[in-house]
Amino acid sequence: MDRRDFLKGLGLTVTASGLGALLAACNANEQQSGQAIAVSSGGTLYVLYDLTSQRLDPAKSSSLAITMSGLIHRRLTAWQTPANGPATVVPDLATDIGRASADGRTWTYTLKDGLKLSDGTPITSAEIKYGIERSFDAAFSGGLGYHKTLLDGGSTYRGPFSGGELASIETPDPKTIVFHLARSYGDWPWIVSMPAFAPVPKGKGTDANYDSGPVTSGPYQVASYTKGVEIRLTRNPNWDPHTDLARTGLPDTIVVQLGQDTGVTAQRLLASAGNDAYAFGAAFVNPAQLAQIRTNPAAKNQLVTSKSGALAYLALNTRRGPLANVKVRQAFQYAVDKTAYQIATAGNAELAGPVATTLITEGITGREVFDLYPAPPGGDVAKARQLLAEAGYPNGIENLDFPVSTANNKADLAQAIQAALQRAGIQAKLRPLDDDAWTAIATGNDDNAYDLTLSTWQPDFPSANANIQPLFGTSEIGNGGYNLSRYSVSEVDTLIAQAQGTVDPAAAGKLWAAADRRILQDSPIVPLIYTRNSFLHGAKVGDFAIGEFPAYPNFLQVGLAK
């Protein structure tokens, strides 16, 4: 999913450049570790959001498994996000991560014993099935929807209120749920960790009010929700920590303060006065706040920075004009100045994030490190001009249309790209657009709407599948899809299908790595950097850490010092 929409679902927003900052005296790894704080059960944790609302209905949520939705809703599986290794999928409500049929099209789950919802309703396969079916109803749409096309018959199903039950979800007994997929899909264990797989009691969630007071299965229940002001979570008396591998459930209460100014939030957290010592910010720290952080050595232990993050990239429209020529597109790999992009992002290379050379992001199982277009970070202008000449453009290329969203500093970043391209004789004309207008053009059906554009991508789940298929599958061209380069190669589509249908993660990883290399041979995008994210927390907040993937803190593990 494109990160702007995705961050709205998380309650995380990009401020200024939208990227993290590092302290002058510390590198990213030191900041990630921070100061060890002994945490204990109890207390009130405060979460400071700049958004004025949150999606609490699991059908409407696009929240990652480790963020706020996971505090109140359990799913069949969950994520563990270690600091020094890839994220892994673990059982949550289920006893294992799923048992696949030989062809990878049928997945069976058994529920753990003694599970209950916050209202005392036993969690059975019926509550899981109903919760999933609700997500198909148009009135409760908006959440992550991978399952809607993967489940057999899902493409035409319209939900339980008008379409009856979905036959491809079977519940032979209260503890067993069986999914029949339209095709083989090895990443199904990740899909069932998404919000829509949270249990909902039958008869509940029939109107919009459910979004502000859902029945919950996680450590917390919703005590009150005042939109624009506050969400208060208190302990769910029916949550059993012995059945939960993903959540510690340490604070007694969690208070989400909505509509907070991000600049003020940073100042409050650094000061850590009163309740702010027990708070963390859900928005990225922006570089404009670096000066204050650098002059405050004590803040070192309150700033947590990801090692890596979302892929920032330049998309080249493979169906338009000179960019239909692969050598022209390969010239862009050498023409760009990734150092200049880093500086435009956050002031210097270290703050922005490492240079990117692959499509699969760090922290994803099966990722292989390679560089098909080796060049200094500042580019290789001579090589770019050579390739342009070989492609029939010895005098360069003029009048390329470069629409860019004005949101999140994208226009400034695009200027850095524009200047670098000009050195190689590539003239690109920037066309600033508001974010909605840019999205309509970039994801619309007109193949001639632009030549190149700038974007970022953070996978929705920890699999190379979520790196590759949404950006390069033919099915994702137009109609709201994010194949911005309009890239369509049958060999790649075949590789994607093979990898998706492979149940063994190691074997699938090899196929995804092969797809990564094959796509980059055609140069439909220029990988720029893997963007770093930084977050601030109060002085009394502990276990606030960012794993290798995703580049966000794990809300489910946070605790407080006494």
| pLDDT tens profile 190-223 | 999 999 999 999 999 999 899 999 999 999 999 9
Whether residues 325 and 453 fall in one domain: yes
Tell me if 125 is assigned to some domain.
Answer: yes
At residue 287, the pLDDT reads 63
Residue that wins the pLDDT comparison between 407 and 324: 324
pLDDT per residue as tens digits for the range 544-557: 999 999 999 999 99
Tell me if 24 is assigned to some domain.
Answer: no
Whether residues 318 and 188 fall in one domain: no
Whether residues 191 and 327 fall in one domain: no
3-class state of residue 209 by DSSP: helix
Mean predicted confidence (pLDDT) in 174-190: 98
Q: How far is CA 256 from CA 68, 230, 232, 253, 476, in A?
A: 10, 5, 6, 10, 36
Query: For residue 310, what is the DSSP state?
Result: P
Tell me if 283 is assigned to some domain.
Answer: no
Mean predicted confidence (pLDDT) in 526-548: 94
pTM: 0.90
CB 113 within 8 A of CB 232: no
The residue out of 208, 231, 247 marking a domain boundary is: 208
| Nearest of 108, 93, 102, 104 to residue 150 by alpha carbon | 104
CA distance 16 to 194: 29
CB 308 within 8 A of CB 75: no
Given CA atoms 373, 427, 347, 1 in this order, what sign does their dihedral have? negative
Tell me if 270 is assigned to some domain.
Answer: no
CB 553 within 8 A of CB 47: no
The residue out of 178, 208, 238 marking a domain boundary is: 208
CATH number at residue 90: 3.40.190.10
Whether residues 354 and 486 fall in one domain: yes
CATH number at residue 421: 3.10.105.10
Whether residues 328 and 199 fall in one domain: no
Mean predicted confidence (pLDDT) in 433-461: 95
CA distance 290 to 21: 6
The residue assigned the tokens 């079916």 is: 133
Q: What are phi and psi of 497, to 5 degrees?
A: -60, -40
- Over 50: is that where the pLDDT of 9 sits? no
The residue out of 191, 208, 225 marking a domain boundary is: 208
- Over 70: is that where the pLDDT of 17 sits? no
Tell me if 476 is assigned to some domain.
Answer: yes
At residue 294, the pLDDT reads 59
CA distance 152 to 179: 9
At residue 10, the pLDDT reads 43
Whether residues 196 and 320 fall in one domain: no
CA distance 284 to 471: 25
Whether residues 323 and 193 fall in one domain: no
The domain tally of the chain equals 2
Largest CA distance in the chain: 73
Tell me if 475 is assigned to some domain.
Answer: yes
Tell me if 219 is assigned to some domain.
Answer: no
According to the 3-state scheme, what is the secondary structure of 460-527?
A: CCCCHHHHHHHHHCHHHCCCCCCCCCCCCCHHHHHHHHHHHCCCCHHHHHHHHHHHHHHHHHHCCEEE
Mean predicted confidence (pLDDT) in 51-62: 93
What the block records as the tokens of 139 is 């009135």
| Nearest of 562, 550, 560 to residue 65 by alpha carbon | 550
Residue ranges making up the domain that contains 385: 311-530
Tell me if 82 is assigned to some domain.
Answer: yes
- Over 90: is that where the pLDDT of 320 sits? yes
- Over 70: is that where the pLDDT of 59 sits? yes
pLDDT per residue as tens digits for the range 469-519: 999 999 999 999 999 999 999 999 999 999 999 999 999 999 999 999 999
At residue 35, the pLDDT reads 60
Whether residues 340 and 466 fall in one domain: yes
Whether residues 197 and 338 fall in one domain: no
> What is the rounded average pLDDT for all residues in the chain?
91
- Over 80: is that where the pLDDT of 444 sits? yes
DSSP H or E run through 131: helix 125-134
DSSP H or E run through 256: strand 253-257
